A and B are shown apart, each in its own frame.
Chain A
């Protein structure tokens, strides 16, 4: 799966590297589904943003 994604998105990850990181990505994918398998739609992401601060409005 990862090789297909890497090729489709032209990520530039060599095939040998994909072989090496594939099992890690498989494991992380399973962990990700486990920890994010819930309705989080009403929770704000914990990324701060203040309109006007640091901008050039």
Chain B
């Protein structure tokens, strides 16, 4: 079931939050040993919260659509009194003494925190193949990665081990695992959601995001967690207007851009076919499709790396000097590489970033959203380091991030929505992005597409029976 469906049944008393949580823990006990989606399961505190939610609702104090809904948080969100490992051996015993802002807001909304989801070490990578906490498996094919860095969050959701989950996105870490695991993933505008209490990777690139089965559910979660927070210096000082998505939605006359450059180059054929078919669906819904050119967009994958690498190295510099042996090989290599970026190059990359922001401002005067593939490939095998696409061998990490990273540089809202499956049954993601702080139109396009298709109703075979996946 979706959050919207569960919420209605919880409000009416047909489903008990305690029973829902208990049923979800049954699924976690069954599947977490297989998928390794959770690092920490918080059954005792979650059941206490669920019973409290039940008492409140029975007493007529229904808080809203997340009251009694179970969720998972990527294990870089601070949780008071519960370990926050950041997927790192170094932080395995780090127990924060306060909650992240989003954890606070979800508690106020009545949501039930089930546990902390696994991730790529230090959130710095896209495989979620973690040397300290084990490999996380993709519920659609256990031999494949779920994507990352928020791989535990999407594996847990896709396998029915929560009803929604939190992630973070510095270079695609929400949209890549959403695409690989066949769920909806939203990276809102930079500054839209507080990063207070979120372990950093790249200070000017980190975004909080989240996952759900439907775009409507993603909007429900966004409504609960968005808004200004003075404790986060990057938090936008503006009022967030809650988003409501209509039941019967058309896109009549809405101008939507399809890039003629870059985004449709070197794709797996099944990915291209699925995304082209999705564009046709969006057009059939009444949208006015316009071919657009995004000047020099190919540069911004490099620009994103030039910004992220020194920022991440700066965050972890002390660990590089004192705990090298406790950092996995791939992350250690990235952190070492970050030491060699010149300060002037970092600043010039930030100058080019300003140009990209201005480019997108101009483009979004002509179109309300842009539709592209989320990734050029479906989920690779665990341990696979290169992949052949369009006759070229490509690094899996660089290939997986090349259609998503520039949108962290621009800071614009971006959504991944399931739009098909390849011949091996692996999900394909459609990326929809829009003007800064225009989450409403991005979600509207995704919701309209979703209403016209059935992809979001498919579930992995491994996930059967519990209410959250029915």
Contacts and interface: CB of A to CB of B under 8 A. Distances in A.
Interface of B: 204, 233-234, 299, 302-303, 305-306, 320-321, 324, 332-333, 336-337, 339-341, 345, 347-355, 357
B41 to A, nearest CB: 36
Contact of A32 (B233, B302, B347, B351): B302
Given A35-B306, A48-B234, 14 more contacts: A6-B340, A9-B339, A11-B339, A12-B320, A13-B336, A17-B332, A24-B333, A24-B337, A28-B306, A35-B299, A35-B352, A43-B351, A44-B354, A45-B347
- State the main secondary structure of chain B at its contact with A: helix
Given A5-B340, A28-B305, A40 B351 contact: yes
Contacts of B336: 11, 13, 17, 21
Given A12-B320, A35-B303, A46 B350 contact: yes
Interface string A8-46: 010111000100110011001001101110001001111
A45 B354 contact: yes
Contacts of B354: 43-46
Contact of A12 (B234, B321, B333): B321
Interface of A: 2, 5-6, 9, 11-13, 17, 20-21, 24-25, 28, 31-32, 34-36, 40, 43-48, 53-54
A21 B357 CA distance: 31
B339 A46 contact: no
Interface centre among B302, B305, B321, B353 (most CB of A within 10 A): B302
A28 B333 CA distance: 14
B339 to A, nearest CB: 5
7 contacts: A13-B339, A17-B332, A28-B337, A35-B349, A35-B352, A43-B352, A45-B353
A56 B340 CA distance: 33
Contacts of A53: 233
Contact of B302 (A6, A13, A35, A46): A35
